[in-house]
Amino acid sequence: MRFDKLINRSISRLNSIYKTQLKTQNPINSYTNQLPMKHIFITVIISLLFASCGEDKKEQRPDLSQSKDIVSIKKQRNILAAKQQEITEKIKALDKQIEMLTPEKKLPLITTFTAKAEKFNHYLELQGNVETKENLIITPELGGILRQVLVKEGQRVYKGQLLAKIDDGGMSQQLAQLQIQVDLAKTTYERQQRLWEQKIGSEIQYLQAKSAYEGQEKAVSQLEAMLAKTSVVAPFSGIIDDVITEKGSVVAPGQTPLMRIVNLKDMYIAVDVPERYISNITVNKNVEVLFPILGETHKAKIRQASSVINPTNRTFKVEIAVPNKKRTIKPNLTAQLKINDYSNEKALLIPQSIISENADGQQYIYVLKNKNNDKAIAKRVIIETGKTQGDVIEVLKGLENNAEIIQEGARSVKDGQKVQIIN
């Protein structure tokens, strides 16, 4: 019997046995059913070996490896190569038949997880800068020579405390002289008033005395206000961060910076938020604030959200108050923000990596159906997704609670395919 005929007859015999078993018993799904088939495979392989050996004896040819006859060598080589090709093709046919008769060995291996409703918080991540409304460079209200600087850098001061003194240019002497005139005008007015009450003298004299006194009083008040501007006082409590102008310098009103005062108590973070979040980012929303330089994380809330959109960059401004008990947070410090813009108490979350997309742009995943021990059927499910956070995404439609979803191996299975679970 030739080798190829033996192989073909073996394949036919295997098909016949397989069909007979399908009619007489359940499909080969267990080890006990597969055992007879394994004996058949072993018998076929042994038969092939004997046939091969027998055929080699019948067709044994002389060894031409040491021959000088090139024609004979090439001819024998071609014969051996053809036989090798024939054997390879027959082995492939047997492998295919074995695979068909033992389908359970080729099931796709997958892992699964169960989708359960859970709380989902989505965060908008932005970057902002620390600011304070009490960070001020003090300038003089009156020009002149800076006669005194009464504070040092790093010194804590209180609201209304005297910080520096500017030369008054002789205004104090003018005020003293004007005060003498006010006293005289007051005495004259009081006397004229008594006489007028006794119907002595004219009314015009009384009115002139009153007018002169009131005019002098206003002049004194005006000069006192001007003189008060020579004293530089703290507009709020804080720390003198920097003394800019030294004693003896000539200063100009509203132009020469004298010193910087900062209050680190009322700190906040200012950030520009894209306009599409204007309905979700509102006052009292929770915010997680991270200061990378300090290695600190704080819980905070939005204290103010602007209702006006900046036409230049289509954003609106948000302020987030941050506690600063340790005084470690400084103005202009960079902060990373995670603002809670969406929450769902019963969200179904899945990894983004298991989602595929069909030709129509629809997203789908695979769930298990007809599960039996570690075997099940993969079913394709079209889903609609929502917001993402990290590696997970929220499923809005198409997925049921407690559904068992294929995770590893999700991209290698097909709809309706039988799979093996290896969780």
Q: Looking at the predicted structure, is the pLDDT value of residue 93 above 90?
A: no
Residue 99 CB contacts under 8 Å (≥ 6 apart), including other chains: 105, 106
Give 367-382 pLDDT, tens digit per residue: 998 888 888 899 999 9
Expressed as residue numbers, the domain containing 174 is 138-259
- Would the pLDDT of 329 be above 50? yes
The strand ranges marked E within 250-398 are 250-251, 259-262, 267-274, 286-291, 296-305, 315-322, 334-351, 356-357, 363-372, 375-389, 392-397
The CB density around residue 115, as the number of other CB atoms within 10 Å, is: 19
Provide the pLDDT for residue 62. Answer: 61
Q: For 383-423, how does the pLDDT look when each residue is reduced to its tens digit (9 = 90+)?
A: 999 988 888 999 999 998 889 999 998 888 889 888 888 87
- Please report, for the domain that includes residue 196, its CATH number: 2.40.50.100
State whether 228 and 309 are in the same domain: no
At 366 the pLDDT is 93
pLDDT of 109 > 60? The answer is yes
Residues 335 and 349 in one domain: no
| Per-residue pLDDT tens digits for 340-355 | 888 899 999 999 999 9
- What Å distances lie between residue 421 and 27, 69, 223, 366, 413, CA to CA? 20, 62, 94, 13, 12
pLDDT tops 60 at residue 320 = yes
Average pLDDT of the chain is 83
Domain boundary among 207, 230, 259: 259
286 and 324: one domain? Answer: yes
- Give the pLDDT confidence score for residue 153 in this predicted structure: 92
Select the more confidently predicted residue: 208 or 5: 208
Q: Please indicate, yes or no, whether residues 73 and 153 belong to a single structural domain of this protein.
A: no
Given 344, 361, 389, which residue is the final one in a domain? 344
pLDDT band, very low/low/confident/very high, at 43 (cuts 50, 70, 90): low
CATH number of the domain where residue 321 is located: 2.40.30.170
What is the CATH number for 402?
2.40.420.20
Please indicate, yes or no, whether residues 268 and 326 belong to a single structural domain of this protein: yes
pLDDT in tens, 145-180: 999 999 999 999 999 999 999 998 888 888 888 888
How many percent of the chain have pLDDT more than 70? Answer: 82
CA 284 to chain centre: 20
99 with 186, same domain: the answer is no
Q: What is the pLDDT of residue 193?
A: 86
Residue with tokens 């209304």: 160
pLDDT score for 92: 84
298 with 253, same domain: the answer is no
The vertex-50 CA angle with 46 and 54, nearest 5°, equals 170
Count: domains in the chain: 4
124-147 pLDDT, tens per residue? Answer: 999 999 998 889 999 999 889 999
In angstroms, the CA 145 to CA 165 distance is: 9
Asked if residue 301 and residue 245 are part of one domain, the reply reads no
Q: Does the pLDDT of residue 59 top 60, yes or no?
A: no
- The pLDDT tens digits for 188-235 are 888 888 888 888 878 888 888 888 888 888 988 888 888 888 899 999
Task: Give the N- to C-terminal CA distance of the chain in Å, as an integer.
Answer: 50
